Amino acid sequence: MGGRTVTRADLCEAVYQKVGLSRAESAELVEAVLREVSDCLVSGESVKLSSFGTFSVRSKTERVGRNPKTGEEVPILPRRVLVFKPSNVLKDHINGDPVGTTKGGDD
């Protein structure tokens, strides 16, 4: 799964290959997990996956932006944005450090 975008179908296939559920059960499991994560985020809860990271929704206030082409000021409406903060374990893994060799919590 390296070097490209991982899709829901890829996740379902990985669950099928590694867990041994049927393809249909694997797809249901992946969908249920994604649905639960999104429902929690919509309701304002943070989602913390140990050794992976934390997803949360942050509210941004209205502000004035600028069209880079014309220089015209444009109001940017208030909105909610999704934020992901990776754990130290994930950061270390991305940087090639074996899991558990760096001091600190797993966020």
pTM attached to this predicted model: 0.75
How would residue 105 be classed by pLDDT, with cut points 50, 70 and 90? low
Average pLDDT over residues 73-78: 96
- What are 32-66's pLDDT values in tens digits? 999 999 999 999 999 999 999 999 999 999 999 99
Distance of alpha carbon 19 from alpha carbon 6, whole angstroms? 18
Tokens of 43: 């309701």
CA angle, corner 88, sides to 59 and 30, nearest 5? Answer: 70
According to DSSP, residue 104 is labeled S
Give the dihedral of Cα atoms 34, 26, 107, 58; nearest 10 deg.
-10
